């Protein structure tokens, strides 16, 4: 079941000292209309600096988190290393300018220059889940994105070193 899929970036993520800008190509700017009233958006993006054959063939990783099992399947992580590195992040929207094709957010876990594949409005009736379940090793992580900034993430990861 091998079928080629063609993707066309709609814009690029720009990192700056005062936050991040999602710059939408002129051709796609009409698609931004109506996003102005939303407080958050879900951004699908491509980790262009980490897309390589080696990362696309990583299916398991050795204990990336201190409390994780010894081996973890890549689909149980949010790693950029995956067979198809399509990444997704929900971000707060500080400013939307449909005419200029500009979305401003304080943070997105993407590198400067990352291609944007799609943007969807965050809709609580679709995106928020009441009764979720996490494995024991990550159950102590923050329950809300807003709490993540104050969480000691550095103590959770086993960085090579």
Q: Could you report the per-residue pLDDT of 2-40, keeping only the tens digit for each?
A: 789 999 999 999 998 889 999 999 999 999 999 999 999
Q: What is the CB neighbour count within 10 angstroms for residue 65?
A: 17
Token pair listed for 36:
């102005």
- Spell out the domain ranges in the chain: 7-50+85-122, 52-82+133-161
Just give the CATH number of 7-50+85-122: 2.40.30.70
Instruction: Give 135's contacts (C-beta < 8 A, 6+ positions apart).
Output: none
pLDDT band at 161 (very low <50, low <70, confident <90, very high): very low
Task: Please give the mean pLDDT across all residues of the chain.
Answer: 94
In this predicted structure, what is the pLDDT of residue 145? Answer: 87
Q: Minimum mean pLDDT among 52-61, 90-99, 105-114, 140-149: which range?
A: 140-149
> 40 near 27, Cβ under 8 Å?
no
Structure tokens at 71: 């081996």
The string over 13-33, giving b where at least 16 C-beta atoms fall within 10 Å of a residue's C-beta and e elsewhere, is bbeeeebbbbebeeebbeebe
- Asked whether residue 92 carries a pLDDT value surpassing 70, the answer given is yes
127-135 own/partner pairs: CB under 8 Å, 24+ apart: 127/42, 127/90
> pLDDT tier at 158 (50, 70, 90 boundaries)?
confident
Contact 45, 7 (CB under 8 A): no
Of 86, 91, 82, the C-alpha closest to 115 is 86
């Amino acid at each position: 079941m091998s079928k080629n899929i063609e993707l066309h970036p709609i814009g690029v993520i720009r990192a700056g000292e005062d936050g991040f800008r999602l710059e939408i190509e002129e051709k796609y700017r009409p698609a931004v209309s109506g996003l102005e009233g939303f407080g958050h958006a879900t951004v699908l993006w491509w980790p262009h600096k980490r897309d390589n054959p080696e990362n696309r063939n990583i299916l398991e990783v050795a204990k990336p988190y201190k409390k994780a099992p010894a081996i973890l399947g890549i689909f149980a992580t949010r790693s950029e290393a995956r067979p198809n590195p399509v990444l997704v992040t929900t971000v707060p929207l500080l400013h939307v300018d449909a005419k200029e094709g500009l979305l401003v957010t304080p943070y997105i876990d993407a590198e400067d220059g990352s291609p944007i594949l799609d943007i969807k409005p965050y809709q609580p009736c679709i995106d928020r889940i009441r009764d979720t379940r996490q494995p024991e090793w990550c159950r102590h992580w923050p329950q809300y994105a807003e709490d993540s900034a104050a969480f000691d993430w550095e103590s959770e990861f086993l960085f090579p070193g």
